[in-house]
Amino acid sequence: MKLTVLGGGGVRVPAFIRGLISSGRATFDEICLFEPDELRRKTTGRLSVELAGALGRPGAVQLTADAEQAFASADFVFSTIRVGGDAARVVDEEVALRRGIVGQETTGPGGCAMALRTIPVLLGYCDILARCAPGAVLINFTNPVGVITQAISLRTSVRVVGVCDTPSSTLDRLAGFLGADRDQVSFSYGGLNHLGWITSFAVGGEERIGTLLDRYEELRRFDHAFAAFDPAQVRRLGAIPTEYVYYFYEPARYVAAVARAGASRGADVLRLNSELLAGIASAFDAGGVDDAWSAYSMLMGIRRDTYMRTDTDGDNAQAQARARRAAAGPVGPGGGRPSGYEGVALQVIDGLTARSPGEVIVNTRNGASLGFLDPDDVVEVPALVHGGGVSPLAIGQLPRSAIGLITQTKEYERELVEAAVTGDAGLAALALAVHPLVPGVTVAREMISEYRERHGPHLAYLR
Amino acid sequence: MKLTVLGGGGVRVPAFIRGLISSGRATFDEICLFEPDELRRKTTGRLSVELAGALGRPGAVQLTADAEQAFASADFVFSTIRVGGDAARVVDEEVALRRGIVGQETTGPGGCAMALRTIPVLLGYCDILARCAPGAVLINFTNPVGVITQAISLRTSVRVVGVCDTPSSTLDRLAGFLGADRDQVSFSYGGLNHLGWITSFAVGGEERIGTLLDRYEELRRFDHAFAAFDPAQVRRLGAIPTEYVYYFYEPARYVAAVARAGASRGADVLRLNSELLAGIASAFDAGGVDDAWSAYSMLMGIRRDTYMRTDTDGDNAQAQARARRAAAGPVGPGGGRPSGYEGVALQVIDGLTARSPGEVIVNTRNGASLGFLDPDDVVEVPALVHGGGVSPLAIGQLPRSAIGLITQTKEYERELVEAAVTGDAGLAALALAVHPLVPGVTVAREMISEYRERHGPHLAYLR
Amino acid sequence: MKLTVLGGGGVRVPAFIRGLISSGRATFDEICLFEPDELRRKTTGRLSVELAGALGRPGAVQLTADAEQAFASADFVFSTIRVGGDAARVVDEEVALRRGIVGQETTGPGGCAMALRTIPVLLGYCDILARCAPGAVLINFTNPVGVITQAISLRTSVRVVGVCDTPSSTLDRLAGFLGADRDQVSFSYGGLNHLGWITSFAVGGEERIGTLLDRYEELRRFDHAFAAFDPAQVRRLGAIPTEYVYYFYEPARYVAAVARAGASRGADVLRLNSELLAGIASAFDAGGVDDAWSAYSMLMGIRRDTYMRTDTDGDNAQAQARARRAAAGPVGPGGGRPSGYEGVALQVIDGLTARSPGEVIVNTRNGASLGFLDPDDVVEVPALVHGGGVSPLAIGQLPRSAIGLITQTKEYERELVEAAVTGDAGLAALALAVHPLVPGVTVAREMISEYRERHGPHLAYLR
Amino acid sequence: MKLTVLGGGGVRVPAFIRGLISSGRATFDEICLFEPDELRRKTTGRLSVELAGALGRPGAVQLTADAEQAFASADFVFSTIRVGGDAARVVDEEVALRRGIVGQETTGPGGCAMALRTIPVLLGYCDILARCAPGAVLINFTNPVGVITQAISLRTSVRVVGVCDTPSSTLDRLAGFLGADRDQVSFSYGGLNHLGWITSFAVGGEERIGTLLDRYEELRRFDHAFAAFDPAQVRRLGAIPTEYVYYFYEPARYVAAVARAGASRGADVLRLNSELLAGIASAFDAGGVDDAWSAYSMLMGIRRDTYMRTDTDGDNAQAQARARRAAAGPVGPGGGRPSGYEGVALQVIDGLTARSPGEVIVNTRNGASLGFLDPDDVVEVPALVHGGGVSPLAIGQLPRSAIGLITQTKEYERELVEAAVTGDAGLAALALAVHPLVPGVTVAREMISEYRERHGPHLAYLR
């Protein structure tokens, strides 16, 4: 079985490779990393290749800049590209933030600009994939996952499953909070990517959502993922929002927090990633794979520790994270298992290959899962993933205000895909104006115009 | 037949009385104006009473400060009160505007504060009405009409119909634009008060909505009600929004326009109304009903001419309006017919008394009219109004983004009614946070807190 | 204004003409009766023409066998044809009855055969009409009204409204039973033609359906239209079925009753109509229009008095009716007003010409009226009929078993229209097999085969 | 883990026990057969107990007539009782058949009578179970499975899953027909027990339902389960009905076939089962477990070979089956694995114990699976069965005529449960009248009356 990674020099890839091999879940005969950027091939790419060797599977990981070669005979493809790199993300966020609007990687104007840059590029790769490996399944992590998966699902013949670990990790945390065996948990979850709610959480057949809502203040202290929400609001809602809903529930607080912090998450990530690539490069110059891993894992740790801190607290908390990680000292490359969205992706692969069919929350064609959306829309819901494909579960009633937000956001997504596919700048602005976080069509036109100017060639196709 | 006007000293009442009598549509044996404010009784109230005499129906209009007397044996009651007066409206708008949020009489935080002040007072009047005239029909103009009608419909035994002329006047203008006979027009309209869309407009059985959308630029020049919308946006939508949708489609532009104008509409209206009452008082001091009417109609004309100008153009255009009206000279009390929402109210009365059953756009219990809302929700839709009551028409598909906005706004309205009825300040903030124009629960809490402080006794019941 | 009657020699036409002129509702400048059958032109046709003269409007009614001439410049067209005449109806009923299946004019296999004979003929007339009078409105009484109207609505450009007086006369009787002013009644009714239920009946805003159900035994004695239903069943249903629902609620009882009576209603009507035409012919031979009217009204009275007696009681009660009518003696042509479905048709005309817009129960395009059917399906619901067209009201929840029957029957109707339009005999049998009263596809194939054999040229187009 | 079998002397139990043990799937520490009937304990019961010994698990199977003992500490309970035994089934069928109505074990009046006998008895057992083993899961095979599961689900606190192998075995046959790997199949199935349709059948992601419909004539020859349906009807439907839909699609043909055969399936089964018990008894008298098994498997084979032959072909084909089985000679007790509904039940157990979560078609609470039914209704749909419980998949559009039949049949089921729980004979007749195969309320009253008379004590609770 061959796995190809589109965006194989991405910063998360070395950790994934290490987890995959260390945990023995590497059922792939071949892992091919496709990476067109030379610096990435020489740093994170090389680190992935050498990690395989260090962990006893030399040759298992290959690195290439040739897409056709990468796709040939692939069974599964991970897509994790970032068109325009981290620098483009900073622009995405700034254009919105300086107008007092949520500027964030995937939600609102930032996600819109990112999708506009990405869709044409990814649809191009899908053409090659459909030709080189027509039976392959594309597992999409490329953000904004919902829109991108909708574009591929509606506009190409490629079989696609969009993956994000936000809902499953939220469920894991809730199980942890209650001390429940995750296997005994039955839940209801539904929405769009980064806009989903948990409406039921039963343990061994007994409904516990009431307990979770009653104890929400405790839950906020238990885990940062719940910290940003107003307990009374959550209780009134009767459902637990996943963390990205924060941008919809607290846009003004987010904008104020970033202003206080002085820089958006994107700006921090840009700096951390530059430091990361430089650190790996020097480590390889000076030593070997162990040094490179140590530099890598230090910076990835800092990145993880500071996740969403700026957005909710107005302070990126990086200094403390650096101190803590430095005190802990270097870590060797052994150990670990794939977690995060790569972990979810492996569950999808285990299901589709019929090795271990089961329930996974994925971004997939709606069918009849959420009755208020179209069958062809891509939604984020639990599905049975098995040898025959992906079958969404029936989702019961969501909170009514959630239905309102989802209805409007999905309409934004449909219009955005249409704009990207037709290359229509005017339609892109009208699409953005439909987004719940955008205060009107006039400002939407201004932002699209500024994005076109600042993203140059990436948005030149829009007319 | 007896008509009682709750808020009988309101500034629109003299014009209504004059139109009613002049046009011969005054089928009421008795019109009783209930007005607790002395200044109003002495100015607008007196003007209404004397107008009736001047037009040949002396004694037809009575004025009282006693609610029980006003309601006794009433067949129909108009409700057009404003709790806190024009000054409260200025506060409603300011609290939102200084946070960069839409501050407007009926939409967003302003409408929320107004509803919170009004619901307990109006439910109190409903108690008296249910006792004194249990069969009476309450025709509600009190803003925000949708929320207030929902509160009365859900929480009292009073038969209520909410009335607003925005959709019908929009339809009239469209018919005028096309040169069509209004009797030949068949349309589809649906939504909530101040949040409705026209999705079909047929003349003599032939669909013309496509023509209207194609010629939208022309339509903008034809009438100010269409001027504020982006033609491309409207065309993409496939439906014509009614004018208050502007606040949802252009919140940032509205906030900027008010900043440019230097004062909100509420502030202008406060000044115009003070001037109006003072003008009537001096006219009565100096002369008689003709002078009072002349002063009145001049200032009402200026008010009408400047409607929505600040909000869309950033300039209240009052100077020009004053000049134009002054040049036109004084007008006598004869002529006119009830138009605006009083005209719609008379259509409702003609239907309910079986004199002339027909189609009227009203705010009424949804039933099965909009399938995505609850049967008990109050919606704004065309209905057959006849001797048996109000039967809503079946409304076909609205634009999907409209469904999103309506779903969310209706949830805000339900929660707001609950907050007002239970007197729960926390819930009021959570309700406000659900509104599509409010950027989050934190800022909603701040605004509710500030409203409670500044509106003193009117919101003292919230705890 | 010109009214054309397709099937102008139909037995109900003279009574309609008389009512129209006597009541002064004859706002038509010209009434043109189209009748291709010579015997009918010489009897009922001549009677209609001469009645106009006798009632002071000589020349108002014309008679022709030329369709183009009949349709030219028509504003409204009534369609009341019967392809194959009364004899075909007898066959329609027999083929089903001898298999122990409901054999009835409009419901079940009988209605299916009638629709198959009629649709091609009526679509042919619609072609001529669309050419000769493209703006005319076709008011369809031709049975089975629901299927026929669906065929015209879906497959031609002619504006069509299907009319049946069953629901409105049921409502009139209920008002009569309660002693209520019909103008004060508000009701909910929905379904398909001859398959509809009344789910709400309010007088002056007060719901009385509970009273009607509680007193259903009394209601059965009050009027024969309610007599056939089981009171406990109706109470459990929570709604009042209209009389044709009897064939769905009591098929076995109906089949047994016809067996007991020895002849179906169709056979009786065939004999009564032959007697009627012969009676008119002899009356004209022997005397004049007064004698002809007297013969006519005697036999029409017997026909009306024996309506549904066979089906529910197993005895056509004709002997008693004849005796009663004979004892009452001859009646002159004056007096009367259009009632029955012609009365409903005039309400439709009054609405569409904007003379008197109002609520009429019609067979029309569903739109969003019954949410569980398609927008393009023809349904029987109250609608606002006005200058702009026909706007269905929103119908709330019907009983769940009614939804089941309607869903299945409408699917039968859709398939039947498809079979008639494509001339596919196999599909006709499959359509018939979908009907709730038909016990399977094998017996449906047998019946279609027998109908094709016995109806000769009328069904020769099916292959 | 303890498994209790309610109806442990049922004729299928020995085969199940043998399959369970032979296949090594016997993960139960204890299997307790509850059987109140002495003859059954001495024949089929004893055979089950001794089979366990013969297959190397002596003591694994226990036999008791004490319900509390049987339920104590049970983890899973199979319910497979037949109140009134095979003789009652013969009455169930006769009462309907002699009126020309479908008389069948589970569908129509027969199923109604069976449910009325069974519900009070099984709810009584549920009371005991809820007390003795509150965490146990009841897996219900007791027919009619849909109604009985609905009664337990709505009216008791017992966790229940209804199981039938009709849909899964149909899917297996379709996979066999196409030569497809069952693991690669993705399908859509939905409906009620014995009233379900397969609307999609994809292999490796490729839709093949079109192929199956195109080749339906071949499919009919391939397997008897498809033989009874009209290929043109099935193609027009666009879905494959499961075999019991035959009674809805061909009631007249079924009634005629039974008349031709001279006896219903129930009468045959009554005779076969008497012969079976007698055969086992003599075998135990004369020899041992091997002889008893041989007699048992011979008669069970004849029973299986003649399944549905009478109903579709009008000939029970028993003579040929006996000859074939006799020629094949005796079979020893080894070999086999649980199939049929016991096989499905073990899949449910494997899922609920989290040993092997996966997709199983079950009768379970609807939730949002079939949007046109209530969340609380029991439906037959594919569900993810896992440690957390049973989560139904989202089912897309069913054929519209299927929706009609399901809507009406489910309403019959709801009303029937209500009648059984309240003991209301009148309501039982009204419920039966709602069933699509019952021609009216009058005949329904007659049949309920006759059932009460002939079933004596079993229906004495109805008043």
Shortest Cα distance from B257 to chain A (angstroms)? 12
Give the residue from chain D lying closest to A204, CA to CA.
Answer: D388
Which element (helix H / strand E) includes B402?
helix B400-422
Summarize pLDDT for C79-117 with one digit per residue, the tens. Answer: 999 999 999 999 999 999 999 999 999 999 999 999 999
Are the beta carbons of B394 and C392 separated by less than 8 Å?
Answer: yes
Whether A334 shows a pLDDT value over 80: the answer reads no
Q: Which residues in chain B are contacts of A412 at CB distance < 8 A?
A: 401
Q: What does the block give as tokens for D403? A: 């929706």
Give which of A327, A445, A420 is closest to A122, Cα–Cα. Answer: A420
> Could you report the predicted ipTM of this complex, rounded to two decimals?
0.95
Q: What percent of chain C has pLDDT over 70?
A: 100
When pLDDT is averaged across residues C306-335 and rounded to a whole number, the result is 87
As a whole number of angstroms, the distance between CA B149 and CA C440 comes to 53
CA–centroid distance for D283 within its chain: 29
Question: What number of residues does chain C have?
Answer: 463
C vs A contact (3+ beta-carbon pairs below 8 A): no
Whether C446 shows a pLDDT value over 80: the answer reads yes
When pLDDT is averaged across residues A426-454 and rounded to a whole number, the result is 98
Q: Which residues in chain B are contacts of C159 at CB distance < 8 A?
A: 205
Sign of CA dihedral D185, D186, D188, D190: positive
Does B357 reach chain C within 8 Å, measured CB to CB?
yes
Q: Out of D249, D415, D439, name the one closest to residue C252 (CB).
A: D439
Shortest Cα distance from A462 to chain B (angstroms)? 17
Q: Out of A205, A358, A389, name the one closest to residue D389 (CB).
A: A205
Summarize pLDDT for C194-217 with one digit per residue, the tens. Answer: 999 999 999 988 999 999 999 999
Give the residue from chain B lying closest to A247, CA to CA.
Answer: B440
Local confidence band at C126 (pLDDT 50, 70, 90 cut-offs): very high
Does C401 reach chain D within 8 Å, measured CB to CB?
yes
Pairing of strands D389-392, D378-386: antiparallel
As a whole number of angstroms, the distance between CA D131 and CA B408 comes to 46
Residue D243 and residue D225 in contact, taking contact as beta carbons nearer than 8 Å:
yes
Residue D223 and residue D177 in contact, taking contact as beta carbons nearer than 8 Å:
yes
As a whole number of angstroms, the distance between CA A412 and CA A420 comes to 12
pLDDT of residue B341: 86
Does C206 reach chain B within 8 Å, measured CB to CB?
no
| Mutate: best of A393, A395, A403, partner D, most D CBs <10 A | A393
**Angle between helix A425-434 and A109-132 (nearest 10):** 120
**Residue given tokens 């007659």 in the structure block:** D446
Would you give the DSSP letter of residue D262?
A: S
Q: Which residues in chain C are contacts of B184 at CB distance < 8 A?
A: 354, 387-388
Does D400 reach chain C within 8 Å, measured CB to CB?
yes
Whether D334 shows a pLDDT value over 80: the answer reads no
Shortest Cα distance from C263 to chain D (angstroms)? 21
Q: What does the block give as tokens for A292? A: 């490179």
pLDDT of residue D26: 61
As a whole number of angstroms, the distance between CA D371 and CA C262 comes to 47
Shortest Cα distance from B170 to chain C (angstroms)? 17
The pTM for the full model equals 0.95
User: Three-state SS for B392?
Assistant: strand
Shortest Cα distance from C407 to chain B (angstroms)? 18
Residue B161 and residue B151 in contact, taking contact as beta carbons nearer than 8 Å:
no
CA–centroid distance for B183 within its chain: 25
D vs C contact (3+ beta-carbon pairs below 8 A): yes
As a whole number of angstroms, the distance between CA B315 and CA C303 comes to 76
Shortest Cα distance from C206 to chain D (angstroms)? 29
Sign of CA dihedral D35, D38, D44, D47: positive
Give the residue from chain C lying closest to B390, CA to CA.
Answer: C186
Q: DSSP characters for D370-415?
A: STTS-TTSEEEEEEEEETTEEEEBPP-PPPHHHHHHHHHHHHHHHH
As a whole number of angstroms, the distance between CA D437 and CA A348 comes to 45
Whether C248 shows a pLDDT value over 80: the answer reads yes
Give the residue from chain A lying closest to B430, CA to CA.
Answer: A233
Summarize pLDDT for D67-84 with one digit per residue, the tens. Answer: 999 999 999 999 999 999
Residue B76 and residue B136 in contact, taking contact as beta carbons nearer than 8 Å:
yes
Shortest Cα distance from D258 to chain C (angstroms)? 15
- pLDDT tens for chain B, 463 residues long, are 999 999 999 999 999 999 888 887 767 999 999 999 999 999 999 999 999 999 999 999 999 999 999 999 999 999 999 999 999 999 999 999 999 999 999 999 999 999 999 999 999 999 999 999 999 999 999 999 999 999 999 999 999 999 999 999 999 999 999 999 999 999 999 999 999 999 999 998 899 999 999 999 999 999 989 999 999 999 999 999 999 999 999 999 999 999 999 999 999 999 999 999 999 999 999 989 999 999 999 999 999 899 888 898 899 999 999 999 888 888 788 777 788 888 999 999 999 998 899 999 999 999 999 999 999 999 999 999 999 999 999 998 999 999 999 999 999 999 999 999 999 999 999 999 999 999 999 999 999 999 999 999 999 999 9
Whether D324 shows a pLDDT value over 80: the answer reads yes
Summarize pLDDT for D195-249 with one digit per residue, the tens. Answer: 999 999 999 889 999 999 999 999 999 998 999 999 999 999 999 999 999 999 9
Average pLDDT over all residues of chain C? 95
Summarize pLDDT for C150-161 with one digit per residue, the tens. Answer: 999 999 999 999
As a whole number of angstroms, the distance between CA D257 and CA B456 comes to 84
pLDDT of residue A26: 60
pLDDT of residue B23: 82
Are the beta carbons of A394 and D184 separated by less than 8 Å?
Answer: no
pLDDT of residue B328: 85
Per DSSP, what are the bridge partners of residue C380? C191, C363
Number of H helices, E strands in chain C: 21, 13
User: Three-state SS for A460?
Assistant: coil
Does A328 reach chain D within 8 Å, measured CB to CB?
no
As a whole number of angstroms, the distance between CA B376 and CA A285 comes to 72
Please indicate whether residue C299 or residue A24 has the higher confidence score (pLDDT): C299
As a whole number of angstroms, the distance between CA D30 and CA D78 comes to 13
Whether D335 shows a pLDDT value over 80: the answer reads no
Q: Which residues in chain A are contacts of D395 at CB distance < 8 A?
A: 368, 394
Give which of A174, A178, A257 is closest to A223, Cα–Cα. Answer: A174
As a whole number of angstroms, the distance between CA A144 and CA A113 comes to 10
User: Three-state SS for C64?
Assistant: strand
Pairing of strands B137-140, B76-79: parallel
As a whole number of angstroms, the distance between CA B279 and CA B267 comes to 18
Whether C67 shows a pLDDT value over 70: the answer reads yes
- Establish how many alpha carbons lie within 13 A of residue A59's alpha carbon, considering only the half-sphere containing its beta carbon: 1
Q: Out of D203, D368, D395, name the one closest to residue A395 (CB).
A: D368
Does A348 reach chain B within 8 Å, measured CB to CB?
no
Are the beta carbons of B440 and A405 separated by less than 8 Å?
Answer: no
Q: Which residues in chain C are contacts of D191 at CB distance < 8 A?
A: none
Are the beta carbons of B408 and A404 separated by less than 8 Å?
Answer: yes
Q: Out of D99, D252, D372, name the one closest to residue C443 (CB).
A: D252
Are the beta carbons of C375 and B396 separated by less than 8 Å?
Answer: yes
pLDDT of residue C26: 61
Are the beta carbons of C183 and B387 separated by less than 8 Å?
Answer: yes
Summarize pLDDT for A104-142 with one digit per residue, the tens. Answer: 999 999 999 999 999 999 999 999 999 999 999 999 999
When pLDDT is averaged across residues A367-384 and rounded to a whole number, the result is 97
Q: Out of C403, C404, C439, name the one closest to residue D251 (CB).
A: C439
Summarize pLDDT for C276-301 with one digit per residue, the tens. Answer: 999 999 999 998 999 999 999 999 99
pLDDT of residue A215: 98
Count the helix, strand and coil residues of chain D and give each as a percent rounded to the nearest 5: 55, 15, 30
Residue D217 and residue D231 in contact, taking contact as beta carbons nearer than 8 Å:
yes
Q: What does the block give as tokens for D374? A: 């209530």
Residue D416 and residue A417 in contact, taking contact as beta carbons nearer than 8 Å:
no
Pairing of strands C378-386, C389-392: antiparallel
